[in-house]
Amino acid sequence: MSQLLSPETPILVTGGAGLIGSNIVYQLNRRGCRNLTIVDHLGLSEKWQNLRALDFVDYFEKDAFAALLKQDDTPQKYPLIFHLGACSDTTEPNASYLADNNYAFSKLLAQYACRHGSRLIYASSAATYGNGDQGFLDDTENIGVLRPLNKYGFSKQLFDLHLLHQGLLLNDNNGATFVGLKYSNIYGPNEYHKGKMRSMFLRAYEQITADGKVRLFKSYRPEYQDGEQVRDFLYVKDAAAMSIFFAENEGLSCRGLYNIGYGATRTWNDLAKAMFAALGLKPCIEYIDMPEDLRPRYQYLTCLDIGKIRRAGWTRQPLTMEQAALDYVQYLTTSAHVGEIDIDK
């Protein structure tokens, strides 16, 4: 095991109460890592419940921790940082808020990492790929030609570009190393707090259990039938394991940008059918109009090339959509408390 994952190592996890962050903390706990500091912004949401089943030594609100970073006065020195904290709302209208919350705070963490020789594993996003015209390849040289379709994706691209321009993405600085993970359509336990940004898997479960049908957007491009728009879907347990892989492996092949996805596409119709099957029901799908303001920004295709993480040494096969749907439905129907990730593969 990497020294970064020894029980004594102080580990910082921003966004630790969120979907990916809480699953990473859970898997770190299972490896014996409990000297964890979590940073998040709980606000009025219910995501505080995601923290109840996790072991950690301290918690800070994001703005309070940002002040400590500026003063270089954190309670511990963190050799390993998982930076998952961000506003992930792809419809967020306030670009200035995103620039501060997603970009400026990330730069503070990068400066901290350079001062203390930390390994910073951070959440980039597949949203940086925009409509996919430039492909979905996670090579560092490609960052500048990507054109995100929304302000959230742009805020993530800004930090990728910052590290590239600072010469940090592929080179260490005072021992500091950086890994950007381009997550794609992550779903699973601990996303109930995400409101309109919760996955279609959870929405499908809610719709099926409420009235026995799933509602999907109609297609507005002739090459795609209704419900046949495609995505690269990845279960959050696999996303967390793939993220931790970069704490286990620190070599030259494990720096820079990496796609974190399944590596193949499935349709929204597939998703609905998988959830019906997991519930033991026959599919019933209704196609509804897409909001007009969403149509120009809607992605009809995402498919991440995961060859790079494979070449770096990742060998495990992620759960299929059908396997993950069964696991997720079991969690949703049997967990006594939200926020408890208590079902193992």
Taking only the tens place, the pLDDT of each residue in 228-260 is 999 999 999 999 999 999 999 987 779 999 999
Domain assignment present for 172: yes
Are the CB atoms for 107 and 39 separated by under 8 Å? Answer: no
Mean pLDDT computed over 292-309: 88
Taking only the tens place, the pLDDT of each residue in 16-29 is 999 999 999 999 99
| Structure confidence at residue 2 as a pLDDT band (50, 70, 90) | confident
Same-domain pairing of 17 and 96: yes
Catalytic site residues?
Answer: 152, 194
Residue finishing a domain among 219, 246, 262: 262
Does 78 score more than 70 pLDDT?
A: yes
| Structure confidence at residue 339 as a pLDDT band (50, 70, 90) | low
Taking only the tens place, the pLDDT of each residue in 150-194 is 899 999 999 999 999 999 988 888 889 999 999 999 999 999 888
| Structure confidence at residue 227 as a pLDDT band (50, 70, 90) | very high
* Boundaries of domain holding 34: 8-187+234-262
Packed helices 236-248 and 19-30: angle between N→C axes, nearest 10 degrees? 60
Same-domain pairing of 257 and 325: no
Mean pLDDT estimate for the chain: 92
Same-domain pairing of 176 and 278: no
User: For residue 56, what is the domain's CATH number?
Assistant: 3.40.50.720
Same-domain pairing of 168 and 136: yes
